[in-house]
Amino acid sequence: MTVFCMCLAGGIGAVFRFFLGRAVTAKSGGFPIPIGMAAVNLLGAFGLGLFTGIGLNNPSAGIIIATGFFGAFTTFSTFSAEAVQLLLNNRVKASLLYIAVSAAGSLLAFWAGWMIMSV
């Protein structure tokens, strides 16, 4: 049952990622980095930090929510492909900005969420 719920949560996370990333990108108006996926990954890291900070002692909930929903909602592979694509298009500064915002920003977002819930 846990695996089924994880798959269901993963499907929901992937759909949310698609629509949120698309909406943010549409509103960004020529932002120099792929802001849709950056926003999704930052929000996902923050949400996972909130969830982790609760300290829930339920392995099934962790698998369903952390691995299923947040694993599908956030995407390291798309981030990697977009960062490399920026480099291949000789947009080195944009690529480095995207990498910094995504990596450092996700760590900070997770930490902030975790700190909020673990107080």
Chain centre to alpha carbon of residue 90: 25
Secondary structure of 18-76 in HEC code, one letter for each residue: HHHHHHHHHHHCCCCCCHHHHHHHHHHHHHHHHHHHCCCCCHHHHHHHHHHHHHHHCCH
**Residues whose CB falls within 8 Å of the CB of residue 118, separated by 6 or more in sequence, listed in order:** 53, 55
- Is 74 annotated as ligand-binding? yes
- Is 67 annotated as ligand-binding? no
CA-CA distance, 48 to 113, in Å (whole number)? 7
Query: What are the binding residues for Na(+)?
Result: 71, 74
Query: What are the binding residues?
Result: 71, 74
